[in-house]
Amino acid sequence: MNKKIFAQLLAHSQNDLTKITQPYILDTFGVEVKRCDTIEQYVESIDNACLHKYFSKYWQNDMKKWKYSGVALIDEVNSLKPRAVLDVGCGYNEFKGKIDNLIGIDPYNDRADLQVSTLEYKTDQRFDVIMCLGSVNFGSRDKIIAEVLRCVNLLAEGGTMFFRVNPGVQHDKPEADWIEFFSWNVPFIIELAEILNLKVLDIRDDTNQRKYFVYKKPVSQ
């Protein structure tokens, strides 16, 4: 649950849902949501609406600015000769046509091959490479684990996952003010690998304080 949105709603409403009106939501958060039955439902709806608004209208990416997780990934991924690549949270789908056999999914950007979230993506296909470059960054620890686990289940045995994650740095645009970024760190990266039975191949400091790391899924014995 987004703690910033929850605290704002609680302070305003004092647990009186009639005070959470559409004009108040629009004026405070800049988004519109349907009427909800609980404050927790309002938090989830507003959080999703804020993410959708920011990443579909305001967020911009420049692949060239990333030291490890941008243009440099093209040759690295292609050298693995993947039969199928999944770009999770692909944004403007900039790797399409540059990385072989790539499918881009993103719930917020209509340039994705499929406009769907990681947890809602349904397929029987398994991918040799999965890229999560700034997309598994939002929500609670449990949500982060669930999203990475979903990626692990989509990854073929022996497959590789490339990540760029945010250590909790807030984006500077005001439209991102209500977005809550998960604070990734090296101990959690290592712990997550142990939880999900993955091998850590690499961890590096990328541009803008981001962390770049690589997991490998073992082959069953």
Sequence ranges of the domains in the chain: 3-58, 63-216
Cα–Cα distance, 6 to 8 (Å, whole number): 5
Residue with the two structure tokens 């999203």: 147
211-216/155-165 β-pairing: antiparallel
Determine the angle formed by the axes of helices 39-53 and 3-13, rounding to 10 degrees.
Answer: 130
Which stretches does DSSP call E strand in the chain? 85-88, 102-105, 127-133, 155-165, 199-205, 211-216
Rounded to 5, what percent of the chain is helix, strand, coil? Answer: 35, 20, 45
Q: Round to whole Å and give the CA distance between 32 and 185.
A: 34
- Residue 157's CB: how many other CB atoms inside 10 A? 10
pLDDT at 139: 87
Write down the architecture of domain 63-216 according to CATH. Answer: 3-Layer(aba) Sandwich (3.40)
Residue 59's pLDDT is: 87
Which pLDDT score is estimated for 172?
Answer: 86
pTM of the model: 0.92
- pLDDT of 5: 96
Residue 58: its pLDDT value, please? 87
Mean pLDDT by 10 residues, the chain (221 residues): 94 94 96 95 95 90 92 96 97 95 96 95 97 94 95 98 95 90 96 97 96 96 69
Integer Cα distance of 82 and 99 in angstroms: 9
pLDDT at position 60: 85
Give me the residue label for tokens 């540059």: 98
